[in-house]
Amino acid sequence: MLQYKNHFQKLELLRANKLSLKKNVQDFLTSIAKSKNLNAFNFVFEDCLDNAEIIQKKIITGEAGKLAGMVIAIKDVLSIKDKPLTCSSKILGNFNSIYTATAVQKLINQDAIIIGKTNCDEFAMGSSNENSAFGPVLNPHDNSKVPGGSSGGSAVSVAAKLCDAALGTDTGGSIRQPAAFCGVFGLKPTYGKVSRFGLTAYGSSFDTIGPFSNSVEDTALILEVISGKDEKDSTSAESEKINYSNSLTTDKKFKIGIPKEFFGAGLNQEINVAIHNILNKLKSEGHEIIDVSLPLSEYSIPTYYILATAEASSNLARYDGAHFGFRSKDTPNLKELYTNSRTEGFGKEVKRRIMLGTYVLSAGYYDAYYNKAQKVRRLLKESYDKVFKNVEIILTPTTPTTAFNLGEKSNDPLEMYLTDIYTTSANLVGIPGMNIPVGFDNKKMPIGMQLMANQFNEIAILQLGKVISEL
């Protein structure tokens, strides 16, 4: 058991020499080794121990950064210089990054300790972490269940206490859904709030990087460190610099919107009840609960799967066997080099999405699919803008069910896609969303609740998240 609940407590222990950072890191490494069956890590950086003593000294002398000694795992779609980058795909073979992603570099600059790279669905495509060249990740609450995806390894590493926190990526729910299935906090920031430089692109106009942790405090702290405009990412945005971790406590009474479309048929009754218990408590604390409507929600899944796969079909063209990564041994000519390398290198779900995306961009289909989906995306954005005029927070379930069984949905892609039904909207609209663990179902599987706010209003999510986590 860890002696601390969040990083502020950990720092105090380290500063007072009541905790040895070296031992702390060693304990995590031991836990990772013991939990190998969970398959949460693709790579563990044993040499991260070397930094522990230096960082503890810096903490004692007061020279350390904000994240000093926080032990963080990184989803294996983010680049770290001279470390492997696989995206859990065979096609990247023995590829090593030649540079470090901005978000990871910012963690390192604040003296965080990077313990390893976590397993995920191949190229972040999946909702169960079963699409990985490294094999599936198991849910620590019940090893017969999936951890969710695509950032399953990151969620599990935090839930199983194999590290203090983890970075994941969220294109259609890939942080929030596994956070819900594993019972941890997972924040998808506003699109553009965190630089994508160094994040292997899946759906470039949706991709975001965010933290998994066991507390609102640590979530806030990591967000504060990794966010900000980056010259290397033209789509990153300048936003108000907020010291999130120091602004969590507030007496503010929130106006909370409950969209009826997120509570319809298909929502597991236990989740519904758990959320309504929270709503009742919030109401009794003086927060205002308002019924709202987001009528286009039913189109979010098809819209997302058209646009994200279109972008993916282009983003993944560079893995062709010609330049880096895996190359088929069977290459009689250029066309075969391409075809065989991609056929052998990509997994089934990735191929499915490349084909889907290629199709929707093809001559004759572009207007019917891609263009129409862009229009729906704009309308969806307008509908959220309208709701955010009346409420500051939209509160919904994160997932329609708790974690399902391994293999349960792997042969039915549509059924699998529907597990993202409550999460894709935030990516389409570009707004932040966070999973908050709010209890367990009768099988002791975690239940997650989602808070969404308008663009760059992460502070509202974090503040209300803190209120809820202390109810």
Partner 1 sequence: MNSLYEAVIGLEVHAQLLTETKIFCGCSTNFGNPPNTNVCLVCLGHPGALPVLNQKVVEFAVKMGLATDCTINRNSIFARKNYFYPDLPKGYQISQFEKPICEFGKLVVVKNDGSMKEIQIKRIHMEEDAGKSIHDQEETTLIDINRCGTPLLEIVSEPDMNSAEEAYLYLSKLRQIITYLGICDGNMEEGSFRCDANVSVRLKGESQLGTKAEIKNMNSFRNVEKAIEFEIKRQIEILEDGGKIIQQTLLWNAEQNIALPMRSKEEAHDYRYFPDPDLMPVEVDEIWKSEIEKKIPELPDTRCKRFIEQFNLPNYDAGILTSSKELADYFEKVTEVTTDYKSASNWIMTEVLKVLSEGKIGISQFIISPVNLGNLIVLINNKTISIKIAKEVFLEMLKSNQEPDTIIKDKNLLQISDTTEIETIIDKVITANPKDVQEFLSGKEKVIGFFVGQVMKESKGKANPQIVNELLKKKLSQQK
Which residue among 35, 79, 150, 227 is the active-site one? Answer: 150
CA distances from 60 to 55, 65, 70, 85, 225 (A): 9, 12, 15, 34, 21
Q: How far is the CB of 336 from partner 1 (least distance, A)?
A: 12
Q: How far is the CB of 311 from partner 1 (least distance, A)?
A: 6
Name the residue nearer to partner 1 (CB basis): 8 or 99. 99
Name the residue nearer to partner 1 (CB basis): 89 or 139. 89
Q: How far is the CB of 235 from partner 1 (least distance, A)?
A: 7
75 catalytically annotated: yes
Residue 39 to residue 31: CA distance in whole angstroms: 12
Q: How far is the CB of 443 from partner 1 (least distance, A)?
A: 38
Closest CA to 91 of 384, 340, 370, 443: 340
Adjacent-strand bridge partners of 396: 450
The identity of residue 469, as a single letter, is: S
Closest CA to 441 of 267, 281, 271: 271
Name the residue nearer to partner 1 (CB basis): 164 or 320. 320
Catalogue the E-assigned strands of 106-164: 113-118
For residue 39, is it left (φ>0), alpha (ψ between -120 and 50) or beta? Answer: left
Neighbours of 26 (CB within 10 A): 14
Name the residue nearer to partner 1 (CB basis): 37 or 333. 333
Name the residue nearer to partner 1 (CB basis): 320 or 458. 320
* Maximum C-alpha span of the chain: 72
Name the residue nearer to partner 1 (CB basis): 200 or 419. 200
Q: How far is the CB of 231 from partner 1 (least distance, A)?
A: 7
Q: How far is the CB of 363 from partner 1 (least distance, A)?
A: 5
Q: In the sheet that 446-453 helps form, which strands lie side by side, from edge to edge?
A: 41-44, 113-118, 71-75, 165-170, 208-213, 185-188, 433-440, 446-453, 393-397, 255-259, 288-292
174 catalytically annotated: yes
Contact residues for partner 1, defined by CB under 8 A: 78-79, 85, 87, 92, 95, 97-99, 101, 196-201, 203-205, 231-235, 310-311, 313-314, 316-318, 320, 322-324, 334, 338, 358, 361-363, 366, 370
* 3-state secondary structure at position 64: coil
For residue 22, is it left (φ>0), alpha (ψ between -120 and 50) or beta? Answer: alpha
Which residue among 89, 132, 174, 236 is the active-site one? Answer: 174
Active site residues: 75, 150, 174
